[in-house]
Structure 1
């Protein structure tokens, strides 16, 4: 196996777009987290909807998770 004949690895996301992706994904995740928190604070036990709460929490965690990964890549911690 000759290393000089191998293809060079190209990252699927360009380094120049990491700051924008980080800010966008973390911003959406924080917005959903804030709306989930307001939903929990303002609702009573009679008008809660479990499916809505789970979907909102899961969506928020996905956006914050991907935003955190791009944040780590942006600062140079390669995961």
Structure 2
């Protein structure tokens, strides 16, 4: 006979959700601002596609996590 299934639990306590959401939003917005400043201040010759993709990708991960957690209902 199979053992009973374990309940799925969050790796982060529920009380941390609002604080975690604020930090994720702050990090995402800072990285997004950094991306826009980089685009506005660098010339087309000096731009690096790798830096653009890295900065944009990391900012997206932080902001997507925040919005996904709101949609799923983690942020109370």
Gaps of 5+ in 1: 1-5
Alignment map for 1:1-79 (pairs within 5 Å): 9=7, 11-12=9-10, 13-72=12-71, 73-75=74-76
Aligned residues: 70
Counterparts of 1:20 and 1:7, CA distance in 2: 31
Cα deviation, residue 63, structure 1: 0.6
RMSD across aligned positions (CA): 1.7
TM-score by length of 2: 0.79
